[in-house]
Structure formats: C-alpha cells, structure tokens
C-alpha cells in the first residue's frame, strides 16, 4: 500500500513539475527576448538628428515612431506648397511691374495675368503701378513667412527625433501611486514607484 501511495504521489508531482516547465518554456523566452531586443537597441540622439537632417522623417523611423511620418510629410508638404504658390505669384507680379515700367509696345500687346491679395487673377493693364507694388510686397512677405514655416517644421522634426531617442528606453510603467501623507509635523503627498 505504501508503494502504491508513493507511486501515485510521484506521478502526481511529476505532472505538476512538467506543467510548470511547459508554462515557463512558453512564456519566458518571449518576454526575455523582447526585453533583450529592447535593451540591445538604444538609439543615439546624435544619430537620430543626423538622419533626420539628411532625409526628413528618417529620425522618426530610426526611433521607431512610424506614426509620425504622415504628420511630418503633411506639414512639410503644406509649407512647400505655400512657398511655391507665393513664389509664383511674386514672380508674376514682378514681371507685370517690369512690363508696365518698360513701356515697350510689344510687351503691352501681350497681357499678363497676375494674382491679387485674394489670389484671384486679373490683367496687369487694369491695375495701377502702385497697386502692383503693394501686391508684390504682399507676396514677398507671404513667401518669407512660408520659408520660415518650412524651416520651423523641419527643425521641429529634428527636435522630435532627438527627444524620442532620449526617451526610447524610458520606463512607462503604470505601477505608481500618489497618496496623501499626514504626519505630526507636516502634511503632503507621497509619490511611490513600484
């Protein structure tokens, strides 16, 4: 009877031991491998900025922030679009002023369409020279603002890549608590990290 009881106890323990080993085999390698791969890759802030300076958005790819790429390219594309529109309007207005001042009959024969403040096209011959100079300075101002906006967005992408690389291995654990602390000499709060 003792032998049978010992045999049943051994078989029961053997099943539990194998079950524990199987669960460890399934869970442990995955989590260890993920933690190891996360610790092995630590992006360099300098490398992220250099990559982002060479090709816009490469710094975000380097720091594995792929979701920021549409934002980066939309902002840069919008600024580039306004640079193009304002540059074309500025050049057309400048050409219209040159044709007005030139007073060559050949140039007056070929009317030129330029844009006004509302980006509507009109013929140069219908406006005064003073109006054309105002429109030219307006588009020059808008062109300057568009270039500044493009440069600002470009610099923000570099700053974002730098900050993302610094915070890549930052622990975002939800195991923290804020609790009130009331003592005999002071009242305050305690922030506990686990």
pLDDT in tens, 8-66: 556 665 554 444 444 445 555 666 666 665 566 788 899 999 999 999 999 999 999 99
Give the pLDDT confidence score for residue 97 in this predicted structure. Answer: 80
Higher-pLDDT residue of 81, 27? 81
Map out the domains of the chain as residue ranges: 1-40, 43-170
Residue 112 has pLDDT above 90, yes or no: no
Secondary structure letter of residue 125 according to DSSP: G
Give the pLDDT confidence score for residue 114 in this predicted structure. Answer: 67
Predicted confidence band at 135 (pLDDT cuts at 50, 70, 90)?
confident
Q: At what angle do helices 45-54 and 129-166 cross, to 10 degrees?
A: 150
Give the pLDDT confidence score for residue 127 in this predicted structure. Answer: 74
Residue 154 has pLDDT above 90, yes or no: yes
Give the pLDDT confidence score for residue 72 in this predicted structure. Answer: 95
- Rounded alpha-carbon distances, angstroms, from residue 129 to 66, 67, 99, 116, 136: 51, 50, 10, 13, 10
Residue 178 has pLDDT above 90, yes or no: no
CA quadruple 73, 153, 117, 109: dihedral sign? negative
Lookup: tokens for 126: 């219908």
Predicted confidence band at 182 (pLDDT cuts at 50, 70, 90)?
confident
Give the pLDDT confidence score for residue 109 in this predicted structure. Answer: 41
């Amino acid at each position: 009877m003792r032998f049978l009881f010992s045999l049943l106890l051994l078989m029961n323990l053997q099943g539990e031991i194998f079950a524990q080993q199987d669960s460890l085999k399934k869970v442990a390698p995955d989590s260890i491998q993920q933690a190891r791969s996360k610790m092995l890759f630590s992006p360099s802030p300098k490398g992220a900025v250099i990559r982002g300076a060479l090709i816009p958005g490469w710094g975000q790819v380097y720091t594995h922030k792929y979701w920021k790429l549409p934002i980066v390219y939309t902002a840069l594309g919008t600024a580039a679009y306004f640079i193009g529109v304002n540059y074309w309007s500025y050049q057309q207005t400048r050409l219209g002023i040159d044709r007005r001042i030139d007073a060559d009959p050949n140039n007056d024969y070929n009317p030129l369409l330029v844009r006004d403040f509302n980006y509507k096209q009109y013929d140069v011959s219908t406006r005064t020279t003073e109006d054309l100079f105002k429109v030219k300075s307006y588009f020059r101002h808008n062109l300057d603002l568009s270039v500044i906006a493009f440069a600002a967005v470009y610099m923000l992408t570099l700053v974002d890549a730098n900050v993302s690389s610094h915070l890549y291995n930052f622990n975002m654990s939800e195991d923290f608590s804020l609790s009130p602390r009331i003592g005999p000499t002071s009242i305050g709060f305690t922030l506990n990290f686990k």
